[in-house]
Every structure is written in structure tokens, then in C-alpha cells.
Amino acid sequence: MGGVKSYLFPLLRSYSALLFNSSVWGGALLLFLTFLNPNLGIGGFISVFSAYLFAHLLGLKRDFFRIDYYIYNPLLVGLSLGYLFKVNVVSLLFFFVSGILSFLLTYILYGLFSYYLRLPVLSVPFVVGSSLLYLSSLKFSNLFVINLYPKLHLSLPFQLPLFIDGYLKSLGAVFFLSNNFAGLVIALLIFLTSRILFFLSVVGYYTGTLFQALLTGSFSQAFSDLSAFNYLLTSMAVGGVFLIPSLRSYKFALLSSLIAVPLTFGAKVFWESYGLPVFAFPFNFSVHMLLYTLITIGYYGVVSFYRGTPERTLDYYLTYLRRFPSVDRTVSLPFSGPWTVWQSFEGPWTHKGLWKYAVDFVITDEKGKTYKGGGYYLTDYYAFGKPVLSPVSGDVVSVVSDLPDNPPGEADKENNWGNYVLLYDRRGFYVLLCHFKQYSIKVKPGQFVEKGTLLGLCGNSGYSPQPHIHLHVQLYPYLGAPTVPFFVSSYLSGNKFFDFGVPKEGELLEPVFPEKSLLKKLNLLIDQEMTFTLFNNEKELLKTVVKMAPDGTFYITDGRAKLYFGIRNSTFYFYHLEGDTSSPLKYLFFSAPKVPLISRGKVKWEDYLPLLSISSPLKRELYLFLSSFNHSFFKVKVNSHFKKEGLIASTLKFPGGKEVSSFVKIAPDFGFEEVIYDNRLIMRRKR
């Protein structure tokens, strides 16, 4: 059965991929629809089959079923030929050869588009291949055009308004089924799969056709033009697939649909002069133009990995953004023990203008004072002479160490930064630490230092009225360069743990380092197995094993789902769940999405879950759709703390005010021992 699935499921997903989703059942329905016109079904199947055989001959069998555009481009070519030619021995051979040609075009054009333009190939191979094959067929007298023979005409048994009928027929035209019955089935399929895609298909179609009607002066002609499928496909691709769904992506979708109108008519003038349909050229061209521009200018909303539907992509993006607001510029605290934030971003004194993204640290006592006695001497200040540690691993760029320390209350205006160390982090930024004690710096330019290396001692050189550490991040290797935002990782503020954040003025901070025993328990290794008893009606067993993905990430799997995890910033994370979302692994994810590797005291922390954690499907899908209009509308927040050593207690706060409690027990050897969710014992480790 597994062997059949490995062939059948990718084939079915290729049908769904034409509508920008990965639904197997949706693909099965679309496959059935194409066989309502046997010529279509046979043409598509033969072309895909021949493309697969050729990929197998080349040794690309695994890639063929793993990458959907290898399948859907031959599929489209086969459908287009099945739409035009009557099935017989000659046409079947033509379909077979066409599948191989379309595979070769897909392979070549994918390489060119991805390498030189950083763009998806979309259905460009289909447009090129079908155009060439249609032109070549003019010389093949043994290919019989199907229009000369009776065809199956499917239509709804009642009259629809032209503007609705046109929309449905345009949807059907995506699969060369230009009738309203097929269009209605496809519209329902899109709606059930993704409300965002359905919304965009409607927006795209009516934006394009109304603009076309204004240009041509005929609404009936615009709503009868089947090439309008280009407008709705363009809108769906731009607004929900290649851009993170948002109000801005919807604006881009609307504008792209408008652009597709003149592109469609311009293409018609050329294509129809050769007796060719316009195919999907306008869709491909308009999407590629916009996407190339957005990628080139570095637009933040371009999707890096599409997750099957716009809703899933949006949910993953919003959750990741809330959990990990910055992974590019993070630094550790440059000290050990508790220090106080004297001045943070846009601070009241010197952190202004180009230098507003900086943090100053001092040491305070129980009364909030930074010194003992009268504070007349530098040695009265708690921070003076304390070790300053490297907040990153990187290269020492430049050092100044010979400037004198100012007496308390005075400052050196000539040498603003005082004694300093400038480090280059190979992630692409520079870190500046200032006001070191004279002659205390221990590192030299050109030296590579690990995070936590002793750089020198805290002093009072430069523009500094009292001993403190100044820290900021910049993008250029010279003093006075503009500062840029950054995050501080792995620290406690009071009893609250932050895997990363921007410290606030007056906060008492302490860096966090992983506890060895907890790190050992949660540093799960490949092939480690955990077997749980599931406390449902039958008390079945859940067998899990740790595996590594091809990209080097790790996950726990039960064969149905993959729960990805990792350790960084002194924190164990469950990143996301892939596969069957009904897997009991979801309760482990929901109950312990983040675990600080420090269990002392009453440490507490916050995290966020995807909206997919909402149990009601109707609410979940509604929230996801509405979130596309405003990303801050809905969130699932998790407040956690160590109830006692090894036991994590959490409260999940859902939109609408519902709260769910959960408990996760960490196992004494490795992994997890027990999960209680919503007052129900879900699973317990079997020993």
C-alpha cells in the first residue's frame, strides 16, 4: 500500500497544485473531472506517464515525484493536447512524446529561472511546450481535431447570471473544462481548501473582467472571455501563494490582475495570428514581473516556503514572527551575574538619532544605587573593573585601550566612545562595546574570539560620567556608524526568562547558561525512541523515534506526523508540526513549545502557538482568514513556569478568552515522561 501511495499521492497533488494547494482528495476530484472528457483525462495521464518514464531513465525518479512542477507541466501539456485532438494510436504517441518534451523544458527552464532570476518556473514550460506542439500539429495531417467530433458538454440545469457563469467557466478553463458545472466543482474545491484562495480568485476575476469591459466597452464579451482565467490565477498566486497574505498582498493581487488584462490582449494579437490560444502566458508574465521586482528590492513579505495553503503559510509566518522576531542580529549579555539597564533603545540621554539602538549596563545595589559610600572614587562604583565578555563569536576589528578613565561626574567629549572593542560577527554585522578601563583590553585586532571570551574590564573612559558598559550593533566597520536594532538573547529579568528581547530601562538582568542535567535530557539524539501509552478508550501505544531531516534539522515522528525541535539561546524549542495534525504529538507541542534550560526558582516565560492549535475547525479557519487582513487580530499565547523541578505547567490563552491548562513532565533519562492537556491525561511514557 505504501508503494502505491508513493506514486499515486504525488500525482494527485499535481492536479491540486494547479490551484495552489497540496490536497490529495482535491487532486482525486480534479482527476475525475478531467476524465468526464475522456480525451482530456487520457491526454493528461499519458503525458505524465511518459514524463515519469523519461525521468526514471535519467535517474530522476525520486525528484519527479518530489517536485510538483515536474508533474503539473507535463499534465497541462497533455490536457491541452487532449482538448484539441481525438484519441487514437497516432495521438497517443504524440501525447507520449509531448510528455517527454515538456519534462525536458521544465528541467531546463527551472534551472534558468531559479539560478538567474530566483523565480519559480510556474507553468512557463507548459506555455512554451503547448505553443510549439500546437504549431507543429498544423503539419501533422494524421492528427484529427476533436472539434470535428461530438464532445461531452456538461452544464448546470439552470440559468446563471452571466457574471457568475463567466467566473465558473473561467475556473473550468484552468483544466480545459470550459463549462459551468466543472467550474462550480472547482470553486467549491477551492473554497473548502482555502478561503483566502477563493477570495482572491473572486477578486482577481472581477477586477480583471471589469477592467476589460471598461476598455472594450462590452461587459458580455468580458464575462464570456475564457482567457479571464489568467486574471484569477494571477490574483491567487500573488496575493496568497508567493506573498504572505495581508492587506498589502491583496493590493498587489488586485494590481497584478489589472496588469494581466493588457498582457492577455497583447498576447492574443500575437498568438491568435498563428491560430493558438493564449494559454497561461499573461498569468506567468505578470506574476514573474512583480515577484522579480519584490525579491530584488528585498520585500519582507515574499514567501520563502509555501506550506500547502495560504492559511498554513500565514499561520506559520505569524507564529514564527511572534516566537522569533529576529534571528539575524542577536547578541548575548556582555557580563556574568546581575546588572541593571541604565539606558536602552531611544534612551533619555545619549541614545538618540543615528545612535538610538544601544543599551548601557550598570551594577546596582538593593537601594538602586550604582556605588557605595559617597561615590567620589571610581572604585566606589560596583561596575568598575568588572569583566566585560564578548557577546558574540567573531573577529576583533579594532581596539583602543590607552584613554584615561574619567573621574566620577566628568566625561571626555573629545573621545566619545572611550576605550572600545569593535567585533565583526560573520552573520553580517558589527558589535561595539565601549568605556573600557584604561589598558584593560585583552584582545587584539585580527584575533577571533568565542562568545563569552574576556575582552577587558569595565571602566569610565570616553563620554561616560560613571562606569558602565555600552553595547550596540552597526553595519559598518567605523566608529560613529549608525546603529541598527538587535535583540539580546538568553537572560532573566527578575524571575522571567527571555530567549531574546530588548531590555527595558531599569530592568535587572542576568545572563542564562544551560544547566547540564537539563541540557542532557532534552538534547535528543538520532534514533532515540520513546514509547507512550495513550489514555484514550483503548489505551493504545504511541511509538516515536528521533530522526534528522535532509536539511540537518531534527524531529520526533510517530510515522504520521513530524514534530521538529532544536536547542538555541539556552532554550529547547518545538518549532512546528508537519503531517497529520491529529497525531498525539500535537499535545506535546501545545504543552511545551519552549523550555528554558534552567529550572531554578520560579522561572516563568511566554510563548505563542499557531492558530492551528484551536480545536474548533470553524473558528480556526475563520480566524486564519480574518488574520490575513490584520496580522495582530488573533493569537494563541502560552504562559509557562516550572511548577517543580522537571514539571512544566502552562496556560494556553485562546482568542475569545478560552483558557486551557497543561502539564508536561520531563523524563529522568531523556525526553518527556507525561503530558496532561485540558485536565486529561494524554500520554505517559511506557517503561
User: What pLDDT is recorded for position 148?
Assistant: 47
Query: What is the arithmetic mean of pLDDT over 165-182?
Result: 94
Largest CA distance in the chain: 105
Give the 3-state secondary structure of residue 488: strand
What is the pTM (predicted TM-score) of this model?
Answer: 0.88
Query: What is the arithmetic mean of pLDDT over 628-641?
Result: 94
User: What pLDDT is recorded for position 569?
Assistant: 86
Give pLDDT tens digits for 527-564. Answer: 999 999 998 766 789 999 999 998 899 999 999 999 99
Whether the per-residue pLDDT at 1 is higher than 70: the answer is no
Give pLDDT tens digits for 260-305. Answer: 999 999 999 988 888 788 899 999 999 999 999 999 998 989 999 8
Give backbone dihedrals phi and psi of 454, rounded to 5 degrees, phi first: -70, 120
Name the packing angle between helices 310-323 and 195-216 (round to 10°).
Answer: 120
Name the packing angle between helices 2-17 and 68-84 (round to 10°).
Answer: 70
Strand-pairing partners, residue 629, are none
Query: Which part of the chain has CATH 2.70.70.10?
Result: 330-485
Give pLDDT tens digits for 583-605. Answer: 999 999 999 999 999 977 689 99
Whether the per-residue pLDDT at 26 is higher than 50: the answer is yes
**H and E: helices and strands count for the chain:** 18, 25
The residue with cell 480545536 is: 615
Query: Which part of the chain has CATH 1.10.3430.10?
Result: 1-152, 156-306
For 483, the enclosing helix (H) or strand (E) is: none
CA nearest neighbour of 496 among 367, 368, 607:
607
Round the average pLDDT of the chain to a whole number and report it.
Answer: 92
Query: What is the arithmetic mean of pLDDT over 501-517?
Result: 93
Q: Which three cell numbers stand for residue 367?
A: 537601594
CA nearest neighbour of 656 among 608, 620, 631:
620
Give pLDDT tens digits for 333-356. Answer: 999 999 999 999 988 888 888 999
90-104, 130-144, 229-243, 296-310, range with the lowest pLDDT: 130-144
Residue 169 CA to residue 193 CA, distance in Å, equals 19
Q: Count of CB atoms within 10 A of residue 567's CB?
A: 16
Which 8-state DSSP code applies to residue 353? G
Q: Which three cell numbers stand for residue 18?
A: 494547479
CA nearest neighbour of 432 among 383, 397, 405, 393:
397
User: What pLDDT is recorded for position 270?
Assistant: 87
Which fold would CATH assign to domain 1-152?
A: Ammonium transporter fold (1.10.3430)
CA distances from 110 to 69, 70, 120, 289 (A): 9, 9, 7, 16
Give pLDDT tens digits for 105-159. Answer: 999 999 999 999 999 999 999 999 999 999 998 888 887 776 544 455 678 888 8
Please identify, in words, the CATH class of the domain defined by 330-485. Answer: mainly beta
User: What pLDDT is recorded for position 4?
Assistant: 63
Residue 100 CA to residue 77 CA, distance in Å, equals 10
Residue 422 CA to residue 402 CA, distance in Å, equals 15
User: What pLDDT is recorded for position 271?
Assistant: 85
Confirm if 533 and 684 have CB atoms less than 8 A apart: yes
User: What pLDDT is recorded for position 362?
Assistant: 97
Give pLDDT tens digits for 651-678. Answer: 999 998 899 999 999 999 999 999 999 9
pLDDT band at 434 (very low <50, low <70, confident <90, very high): very high
Whether the per-residue pLDDT at 371 is higher than 70: the answer is yes
Q: Which three cell numbers stand for residue 320?
A: 514564527
| Domain range 156-306, CATH architecture | Orthogonal Bundle (1.10)
CA nearest neighbour of 167 among 127, 200, 122, 214:
200
Give the 3-state secondary structure of residue 433: strand
